[in-house]
Amino acid sequence: MHIGVIGAGIVGLASAYQLLRAGHEVTVIDAARAPGLGTSFANGGQLSYGYVSPLAAPGVLSQLPSLVFSRTGPLRIKPSLDPDFWRWSLEFVRHCNARANADSTLRLLALGLHSREVMLEFLAQESASFAYRLSGKLVVYRDAGKLAAAERSLELANGLGYPQRRVDAATCATLEPALGRIAGELAGGIHTPGEGTGDCQMLCTELARIVGAHERGTLRFEHEVTGFDIRGNAVRAVRTRTEDIAVDACVVANGLAAAPLLRAAGEPVSMYPLKGYSLTYCDAPADARPQVSVTDADNKVVYASLGARLRVAGIADLVGYDYRIAAHRIDALRTLSAALFPSLRGTPAPLEWTGMRPSTPHGRPILGRAEKVGNLWLNVGHGALGFTLSMGAARAIADAIDGKRPAVDLAGFARLAA
Ligand SMILES: Cc1cc2nc3c(=O)[nH]c(=O)nc-3n(C[C@H](O)[C@H](O)[C@H](O)COP(=O)(O)OP(=O)(O)OC[C@H]3O[C@@H](n4cnc5c(N)ncnc54)[C@H](O)[C@@H]3O)c2cc1C
């Protein structure tokens, strides 16, 4: 089959790679001039397979008033007149309960662990350079109550055979010496040795290289998709501004921008941007490059060494499609980074970036066949976990297209209509 894949971010390129492996002819179509220039560009670099709990959780509802009025917290909500904002928010609130949270966490954990397997297979088969490390992940808590709550969800991962353990403050400082400076403030942490880190944009570039070098792979950059030629409930061609590209099937994997395309095709999905920020310190001093990837749970900030660089990422702002870098938000990341790694003071200014997580209300990506258009497949809405989940989601979609039973049950990743 000739399969069109819309989007050359991490999700589209992983899909293209898996479809080529399955024997299909693949054309990747992207509006940008190069791979990985969207949300995949400078994310936190975490391959957080076992740390997948969605934002929609019971405790969030009681925090809503402070989230709406705070300018400085790690989460911020700016109410908007946009009907999509209200539809998304109402669905989000509907999922802020223990049952929905546990259901989503279990499904995401299954997809995360499948992704880890597929990623390890990819690493064994391809020579891809993307600053990947089996770094392990340490999530540190200042609040003993929050640590105790996190310990409960650790049982889920352990139950699935994926080791996670609670560690005390002294062990946190042994795992990452920079934490010694704040060990007195810490209640402890959760350590997951199987997690990895890497540069998502570099992996996009590597996947594009592999796809482009394959005899059945084609990449079309600077081709903005405007819609589909749909006849008899099947996509015949993908419409771009310059040409129609004939396909036998199509995988929609263009992140947040999939929402208007799918709506026009009669397959609306509920997705909204959750804006985040990152800093990249190039040539970071050795003592500002953590050995283990560190998550500061209270401030919701992640730190990852990517070769000689330190990537710091965080913040979740529900502020609509506003692509500007807000000085007070990026400054907050800079202040937190310098407090943990004082040697960053006096280094050249880091690269600043903002990106939009393509978020669904329940925090699960939307994976599977469209409802009305039989040969249209969805791989969108990966929110805060697209780098982590990309490989498993891509394999699951490729399996489903081939009529094989995917390793994860796609029924748990059905779309929520917008
Ligand atoms: C601050 C921040 C930190 C993050 N940290 C992590 C992390 O540590 N770990 C993790 O797993 N995830 C993380 N994420 C989430 C992750 O980055 C995203 O889930 C992931 O990048 C989404 O990938 P994507 O391929 O779906 O979308 P994108 O990377 O946005 O790719 C979409 C592609 O589609 C193209 N496109 C759009 N519209 C069209 C069109 N009409 N026609 C043709 N092409 C089109 C774009 O040009 C783009 O190349 C983070 C996100 C942010 C913002």
**Which pLDDT belongs to residue 69?**
66
Measured CA to CA, the distance from residue 100 to residue 233 in angstroms comes to 33
- Reported as half-sphere exposure (CB side, CA atoms, 13 A), residue 60 has a value of 21
In the listed set 342, 359, 376, which residue is the last one of a domain according to the structure?
Answer: 359
**Which pLDDT belongs to residue 107?**
96
Ligand 1 centroid to 353 CA: how many Å?
13
The residue to which tokens 């709506």 are assigned? 263
Nearest atom in ligand 1 to the alpha carbon of residue 7 is: 34
Q: Is the CB of 363 under 6 A from ligand 1?
A: no
**Which pLDDT belongs to residue 256?**
97
**Which pLDDT belongs to residue 134?**
97
**Which pLDDT belongs to residue 417?**
67
Q: Is the CB of 368 under 6 A from ligand 1?
A: no
One DSSP character per residue, 188-246 reads: EEEEETT-EE--HHHHHHHHHHHHHHSTTEEEE-S--EEEEEEETTEEEEEEESS-EEE
The residue to which tokens 């009529």 are assigned? 403
> For position 25, which CATH number holds?
3.50.50.60
Ligand 1 centroid to 47 CA: how many Å?
14
**Which pLDDT belongs to residue 418?**
67
Whether 67 and 162 share a structural domain: yes
Q: Is the CB of 191 under 6 A from ligand 1?
A: no
Number of separate domains in the chain: 2
Whether 404 and 323 share a structural domain: no
Which tokens is 84 given? 């999509």
Distances (CA, A) of 127 to 118, 196, 254: 15, 17, 26
**Which pLDDT belongs to residue 416?**
75
Q: Is the CB of 277 under 6 A from ligand 1?
A: yes
Phi, psi for residue 372 in degrees, rounded to 5: -105, -35
Ligand 1 centroid to 355 CA: how many Å?
8
Which tokens is 184 given? 């007195």
Among 242, 254, 360, which residue has the most ligand 1 atoms within 8 Å of its CB, making it the best to mutate?
Answer: 254
Helices 10-21, 386-401: crossing angle, 10 deg rounding: 40
> For position 305, which CATH number holds?
3.30.9.10
Whether 76 and 155 share a structural domain: yes
Nearest atom in ligand 1 to the alpha carbon of residue 257 is: 38
Instruction: Provide the CA 86 distance to its chain's centre, in angstroms.
Output: 23
Give the residue whose CA is nearest to atom 3 of ligand 1.
43
Q: Is the CB of 108 under 6 A from ligand 1?
A: no
- Which one-letter amino acid corresponds to residue 82? D
Whether 239 and 341 share a structural domain: no
Q: What is the mean pLDDT of each run of 10 residues along the chain (418 residues)?
A: 98 98 98 98 97 89 74 82 92 94 94 98 97 97 91 86 95 95 94 98 98 98 98 96 97 98 95 98 95 94 97 95 95 95 94 98 97 96 98 98 97 84
Q: Is the CB of 361 under 6 A from ligand 1?
A: no
Q: Is the CB of 40 under 6 A from ligand 1?
A: yes
Whether 157 and 266 share a structural domain: no
Ligand 1 centroid to 303 CA: how many Å?
19
Strand, coil or helix: what is 332?
helix
Whether 397 and 286 share a structural domain: no
**Which pLDDT belongs to residue 292?**
97
Nearest atom in ligand 1 to the alpha carbon of residue 240 is: 42
One DSSP character per residue, 58-97 reads: HHHHHHHHHHHH-SSSSEEE---S-HHHHHHHHHHHHT-S
Measured CA to CA, the distance from residue 145 to residue 147 in angstroms comes to 5
**Which pLDDT belongs to residue 415?**
82
Q: Which residue segment(s) compose the domain that 14 sits in?
A: 2-41+201-270+363-413
Ligand 1 centroid to 326 CA: how many Å?
20
Q: Is the CB of 10 under 6 A from ligand 1?
A: yes
Q: Is the CB of 245 under 6 A from ligand 1?
A: no
Whether 36 and 175 share a structural domain: no
Residues in the chain: 418
The residue to which tokens 């929402």 are assigned? 259
**Which pLDDT belongs to residue 149?**
85
The residue to which tokens 């929905």 are assigned? 100
Strand, coil or helix: what is 283?
coil
Whether 301 and 252 share a structural domain: no
Ligand 1 centroid to 172 CA: how many Å?
31
